[in-house]
Structures are given as structure tokens and as C-alpha cells.
Amino acid sequence: MQKVAIVGASLAGLAAARALRRQSFAGEIIAIGAERHQPYDRPPLSKEFLTGAYTEADLALGHDDDLGVVWRLGVAATRLDPRGGSVHLADGEEIRADGVVIATGARARPVEHAGVHTLRTLDDAIALRDDLRRGGRLVVIGAGFIGAEVASSARSLGLDVTVVESLPTPLAGPLGPEMGAVCAALHGDHGVRLLTGVPVTTVTGSDHVEAVELADGTRLPADVVVAGIGAVPNVEWLAGSGLEISGGVVTDANGATGLPAVVATGDCASRDGVRSEHWTHAVEHPATAVATLLGTGAGRPPKAPYFWSDQYGVRIQFAGRREPGDTVRIVEGDPEQRSFLAVYERGGLTTAVLGMSRPKSFTRWRRQLRAAPQEA
């Protein structure tokens, strides 16, 4: 293989470039990125960057000049032609490569109202930070990780914050209802109003937002509105490529797609109908995908999925995969104190572990989680 094109120049794309060099690929690497920025880290966008603790410079992901990567930034790939191994760009250029790594990630699910913020990119974060600096009333639609972190950051900036969630508890999907209730209480501890179980019907205002209205008639006046209602994989450009697309680019555990010499990794890749939309996966999995591309082995054995979230000074960490019906047992600490460790169990096996402000014991339990039945 002489030339590899990496499409998506962010966390997983950079990790793929590093893995290519680490796995002795000496050929040409070209990384194509729709954003105009060099690779940067997204997790601080909802945390330290919003509060002002970090600047843009703090987000930079190692500008590894010694990787010898040609960066084509600010231009999107528009088409993959598997026959010639060509990637077509929006500016008309055609890049021929022997191997392609797809790492185009995801974008925030959009909201049909002008002035409502979403948060996925540095540019989104700059716009939101500027609005939050003006203070006032913030309404956050969606109490998932991004919504909760924005609420937490805005609260620390002194805004009056209301979070609206259509499900009965925040984070019920990943954490289950019991632990979701603990996350709900965390908002209350910090003076954030949380309204659950009621969907938003509309956002009012014309050139700027005025209020968020709920299905039960509640009207929430707002100066700033942020929607954190999930992400959509960036896969439209792959239409007609012959790749199977189902909730993302369909791959096996090693990142292999249905096309030879094309692998997918990071947030855009879907395995068994699930996309792993977490930082650690986007950093670790590209090494496996690159090993698949180069035909040098099966990469590393899959690890249990892992993510963290920082809310109101509490670090939430979760590893494994919870399923409805799993029982939850507190093994250490006290949920009332927002400092505890909980294990999820099914049929006598530990399926997942959750820690709040317990990083050391969480790490011990995470190591113990059996990797075999888990997905990377």
C-alpha cells in the first residue's frame, strides 16, 4: 500500500495517522477535514472552554509534524468511488489512494429554529460561549451528557438555568432509571431547574429566541437556548459507494467494511447497530482499523466501552454495557453524597460499572470487567 486517505481530520482521524506510522506504514498519508481547524479535542467544548478556563490553544491535539501527514482542511469529501479508490472533494479535487480510513464522526442533531444553539464543533462552542457571557436565562433542551455539561458550565457562570428532558429521568438510556435519578438530583443540588417527562413543542422568537414551550403548556422565557438532543453520523457523502450504511458505516469489530481497503472508525462507525460515541473509543479503535487496513493483524482485543462526563464538579465514569433489567448495586460510598460506586449485574455477572467522584476504585472495577462479552 502506497497511499492512504483519511477522511475526517479529528480525533479518530489523527489517531489513525498515528497508528499508520506506529504500524510502520511509510507511504503517503493525506487527511481530509471539513473543518478549517487542525485536530482539536471536543470534550472541553462543553466544559472548560465554555467556562473560560481553556482557550483555543488548550484544545489543540498534538500537531505531530513528524507524522508526515498532508492535511487538506476546510474541504469536505463529497464522494467515495471504490473502483479507483478515489475520494472526491467539494473543491473538485480527486484524491486517489490505495487505502481509505473513514473517520467522519457525527454532527449535532439539528433543531429547526434560528438562534437555537447546538454544540459539536469549536465554532459552535465559540458562538455559545459568546452568548452565555451575556448572562440571563438559559434553557437546555435535552438532559443527556452535552445538555447536562452545558447546564453545569452555564450555572458556574451565574446563568439562571432550566433543563428540559422528555424522558422521566436524564441519561436513562446509558445509566438506567435509578442512576438517572441521581443525575437528576445533581442538577437540583446546583440550583438548576429540571423538568422531565414533558416534550418541547416549540421555540418562539423570530430573529432571536424568546421562549421554549412545552406540551403541558409551560412557557419558559429564555435569552439563550441550547439543544443537546443527540448526534447524526456524517455518512451522506458515502451514498453510492457500495458501503452498507445503517445508523453509521457498518463495520465488524475490527473496522472492516464491505469494501476491501476501506475501513471505518470513531463515531461514524456502527457495529451491530450501535455507534460508540465516546472519546476513548475514537482514540483506541483506529489502531485496530489500521491493522485491518494494512492486513497486519487483528489489532487489540476489544475493551469494554468507557466514557466519562464532568458535571457540577462531579466526575461521572461508566464502563461496560448496561441492558434494561440489569440490577444496580451500590458497592461503595453514598449516592446522596454524589460520591459512590455502583455495579450493574445480570445473571450473576457484572455487566457495567458506574462511578461518581470515585476515580481510583472505578479504575480497579473497570479493569475487572471481563472484556470478552463486551464490544469495543
Instruction: Pick the closest to residue 277 from 300, 247, 257, 307 (CA basis).
Output: 307
Residues 241-270 that bind ligand FAD (CB under 6 A): 266-267
147 near ligand FAD (CB under 6 A): no
Among 25, 71, 237, 362, binds ligand FAD (CB under 6 A): 237
Looking at beta carbons only, is 194 or 231 nearer to ligand FAD? 231
Q: By rule CB under 6 A, what string of x and - marks binding of each residue 345-374 to ligand FAD? A: ------------------------------
129 near ligand FAD (CB under 6 A): no
Question: What minimum distance in Å lies between the beta carbon of 218 and ligand FAD?
Answer: 27
Among 19, 69, 104, 249, binds ligand FAD (CB under 6 A): 104
106 near ligand FAD (CB under 6 A): yes
Residues 44-83 that bind ligand FAD (CB under 6 A): 45-46, 76-77
Looking at beta carbons only, is 234 or 257 nearer to ligand FAD? 234
Phi, psi of 55 (to 5 degrees): -105, 180
Looking at beta carbons only, is 38 or 166 nearer to ligand FAD? 38
Task: List the beta bridge partners of residue 32.
Answer: 7, 72
Q: How many CA atoms lie within 13 A of 279 on its CB side?
A: 13
Question: Which helix (H) or strand (E) covers residue 1, if one does?
Answer: none
Given the rule CB under 6 A, which of 162-170, 179-187, 245-253, 302-310 is the region that contacts ligand FAD?
Answer: 302-310
Among 271, 278, 322, 358, binds ligand FAD (CB under 6 A): 278
In this structure, which long-range contacts are made by residues 294-298, counting pairs with CB atoms below 8 Å and at least 24 apart in sequence?
Answer: 294/1, 294/20, 294/23, 294/25, 294/99, 296/23, 298/254
Question: What minimum distance in Å lies between the beta carbon of 285 and ligand FAD?
Answer: 9
277 near ligand FAD (CB under 6 A): yes
Looking at beta carbons only, is 88 or 210 nearer to ligand FAD? 88
Given the rule CB under 6 A, which of 101-109, 255-263, 338-346, 349-357 is the region that contacts ligand FAD?
Answer: 101-109
What are the start-end ranges of the H helices in the chain? 11-22, 48-51, 56-59, 122-132, 145-156, 172-189, 279-294, 359-368
For residues 216 and 205, what is the distance between their CA atoms, to the nearest angstrom?
Answer: 19
Instruction: Report the b/e string of 332-344 with b at 16+ CB within 10 A.
Output: ebebeebebbbbb
Among 80, 141, 163, 282, binds ligand FAD (CB under 6 A): 282
Among 13, 255, 299, 320, binds ligand FAD (CB under 6 A): 13
CB atoms within 10 A of CB 349: 11
CA dihedral 178, 180, 186, 191 (to 10 degrees): -120
Cα-based distances in Å from 143 to 42, 146, 161: 18, 8, 12
Among 5, 6, 97, 103, binds ligand FAD (CB under 6 A): 103
Instruction: Report the b/e string of 201-219 with b at 16+ CB within 10 A.
Output: eebebeeebebbebeeeee
Looking at beta carbons only, is 48 or 199 nearer to ligand FAD? 48
Q: Where along the sequence are the contacts to ligand FAD (CB under 6 A)?
A: 7-13, 32-35, 42-43, 45-46, 76-77, 103-106, 119-120, 146, 234, 237, 266-267, 277-280, 282, 307-309
